[in-house]
Amino acid sequence: MSTYKHPVSVLVVIHTPKFEILLLERAQHPGYWQSVTGSQEIDESLLETAQREVMEETGLDCRRFVLKDWQQASTFEIFPEWRHRYAPGVTQNTEHVFSLQVPAIMPVTIAPAEHRQYIWLPQEDAARQCFSASNCDAILALPGPEAVAK
């Protein structure tokens, strides 16, 4: 089994029906706020990756809420400081977007090795707070591409 991360990941935007967005602050990068993200394990489907990452990073069980696969992905350059996690020569990651609707703002249990704290913010404020352009775009696209098409 490889010790390198698979260059395929998920981004899960967690929100309430009023579009209050959950953001997590990275432990190793204070001030870097993001939604739930994580790399796909080789033996997982993207849905399973999204469910696992949400549970690991927030303690929320996706089976209790509405998890949507947007069937949307973007490829981006992996930050140089994180490339050592990937096989030599891997410089790009493909990120698949999901959203998880929870009924209201609720407490979450963060993974202290990954995150320092969490906040719930209104949609526009959350988008401005994110360090990642793809995360910002996904927040602003809520309630998801399927709603825009209707």
Q: Is the pLDDT of residue 144 over 60?
A: no
Domains in the chain, please, with CATH? 8-149 (3.90.79.10)
Per residue in 13-33, pLDDT tens?
Answer: 999 999 999 999 999 899 999
Residue 135 burial (CB count, 10 A): 24
Q: Residue 14: left (phi > 0), alpha (psi -120 to 50), or beta? A: beta
Q: Quickly list DSSP for 22-45.
A: EEEEESSSTT-EE-EEEEPPTT--
Based on its alpha-carbon atoms, the radius of gyration of the chain, rounded to whole angstroms, reads 15
Per residue in 79-103, pLDDT tens?
Answer: 888 899 999 999 999 999 999 999 9
Kindly report the CA angle at 57 between 134 and 107, in degrees rounded to 5?
A: 105
Q: Which residue has the tokens 């010790």?
A: 3
pLDDT band of 147, cuts 50, 70, 90: very low
Whole-number average pLDDT of the chain: 92
